Structure 1
Amino acid sequence: FSLPFPDQDIGIIPVQPVKDNNVPTDELTVSTDPTFDKVPSYLIPLIPEDPFYAGGLLNQPSFMKIKKKKLQPLMVGSDAWLAHMEEIYKRHKADKRHNEKLLAYSIKWDTDPDRAEYREDSLMILMEYTNAFHDYELKKLEIASRPPCLPVTKNMNKKKQKKKNKQADNASTSTPMPAIVTDKEMLEELHSQVLNYDHGVYDHYRQARQYQPEVMLILLKDVPILMATWTYITVFI
């Protein structure tokens, strides 16, 4: 082959790049399918493979019923179809929030999601019982620390007393008075809340023992944390 001389013009033929369809590109792909024109973009990834039929999302007809009655699916983008998709989207968002909570609980308790959720629920129920018990005891202490009621004098003028009673009756009829709750009724209500939360703690552990005994297993590394939590609750009560 002869070598080119310095003053010889060499023609360079540009090579066209070969596009590989299997390699993803940064180009924005826009769907040209008119079927999804009325479908919001955030719903498209959640569209299921099976079509929707008339009825509720949880009350879809069976395959035999569809075949027997020759039911037609809902049109994609119709109001009924979009209503089903919005319900799916709400569930998707709820599941996402729940998974985020489980992740936070797992980091907090340094264990798997099931045990972390069980311990977080246990702590919440115990704290609710503790708060209710604290409110009940605080109300009892408040009532006990009040000074005794002064006796009513008997030498009061009856005419003046009748006039005051009449004025009080007129004021009560003109403006509605709020219902007065006695100390006894308040204590009964607070004590009822204490009993309800006490039963809630018992039911929580009973259901866990019956349906999820594996989440109640305590790892050795978790003993100091749980003992500290229980000590705090006991001292607080």
Structure 2
Amino acid sequence: MTKLDQIKKPLMYLKYHKKFAYPLQIDYDFPIPTLPLPVIPVPIEEEPQPLAPTFLVDLSMVPDDLIAYIPDHPVYKGDIHNQLTDKQKAKLQPLQVGSKAWKKHIRELKSKKESELLIKQHASELREKAKLWNTSFDVINPRLVLAAQLTDLQDLQGEKALIEQEILMIPLTTNMNKKKVDKLKDKIRKLSPQIVKILSSLPSLKGTPYYVTEEERALELRPNKRTGNTNRNLDLLLSLHPEKRVRISDSPEPGSLHLQPLAVNLVFQNLILYI
């Protein structure tokens, strides 16, 4: 097979049809020539393992859950971050391995490292959500809070509407019904402060933090959002013959619907841009 045949072979399936036809599976069953690419091994990220202590430690006196968190240096009371100088350490005695104070110190180190790991995992999840939402890392957290607040507001407004509808269905003919209506109105009064609180916090959540860079602000304009002229899911409406599918009758009669293809295309393009 010559190079010319390799180039033309995939193109023989690209046929032009005057009338739209739904593609079949056989239209896609053709080999596509590809170039052999070098396989780049993906590095596997492994969780960092704590270093084994360099000084002698009697592990028989240490609980199993603390062995992985023993530092490679002696520990001193109150020195969680290991910030004491050599002169200060010379005046102090290190904590004895296995003592209550030593175990308490190691448990504090364990809690500190576990919290740092949770913070890193949370930051990694936010970065993934920022990519999914097509925004920046600094803006994704306010966006998530805003989405949660709007969801709560929607639930509260829905609950309030159901109560108001129930009130309208109760006839005020007896004292029993009036008391029932008063109780329902009390429920609405209890919901009102929550609704007002959420509504008052929305403007601050919609703003952009001051520390966001110009490049990150540009992401808020949605530069990667698909427009109407690039959306391939509207082939039936934006194809070469939209007039045959949109126009109901060639000669409009009183009361009949007669739409222009150009107007329909503009409406759908504006709808996609709005979404």
Question: What TM-score, normalized by structure 1, do the two folds share?
Answer: 0.51
Report the structure, 1 or 2, having the larger helix content: 1
Pair 1:197 & 2:198 matched: yes
For 2:94 and 2:54, locate their aligned partners in 1 and report how far apart those are by CA, in whole Å: 22
- 1:126 has 2:150 as partner: yes
The equivalent position to 2:159 in structure 1, one of 119, 135, 140, is 135
The C-alpha deviation readout for 1:21-75, integer Å capped at 9, x for no partner, is xxxxxxxxx989642722647863x666776432384xx6964797299233434
Structure 1 residues 135 and 71: CA distance shift in structure 2, 3 A: farther
Q: Any stretches of 5+ residues in structure 1 without a counterpart?
A: 1-29, 153-180, 233-237
Letter of the aligned partner of 1:184 in structure 2?
K
Q: Over alpha carbons, which structure has the higher Rg? A: 1
Q: Give percent identity, aligned residues only.
A: 19
- Partner of residue 171, structure 1: none
Please provide the CA RMSD for this pair.
Answer: 4.3
Residue 244 (structure 2) aligns with:
none
What's the CA shift string for 1:178-218, capped at 9, x where partnerless? xxx82232111111110111122223235x44454755541
> Which deviates further from its counterpart, 191-200 or 109-118?
109-118
Aligned partner letter, 1:136: K
Q: Give the total of aligned pairs.
A: 167
| Structure-to-structure mapping, 1:156-167, within 5 angstroms | none
Query: Looking at both structures, which has the greater relative contact order when contacts are Cα pairs under 8 Å and sequence separation is at least 6?
Result: 1
Residue number in structure 2 paired with 1:146: 170
Paired AA for residue 202 in structure 2: V
TM alignment of 1:47-58, pairs within 5 A? 52-55=75-78, 57=80
Gaps of 5+ in 2: 1-51, 177-181, 228-269
Superposition TM-score, scaled by structure 2 size: 0.45
Contact 1:106 1:112 survives alignment (8 Å): yes
- 2:57 is paired with a residue whose SS is helix
Paired residue for 1:72? 93
Paired residues for 1:204-219 under 5 Å: 204-206=205-207, 208-212=208-212, 217=218, 218=220, 219=222
In the alignment, is the contact (CA less than 8 A) between 1:132 and 1:194 conserved in 2?
yes
Among 27, 34, 57, the residue aligned to 1:35: 57
- Aligned CA distance change for structure 1 residues 115 and 76 (closer, same or farther; 3 Å): farther
Structure 2: how far apart are the matches of 1:192 and 1:203? 18
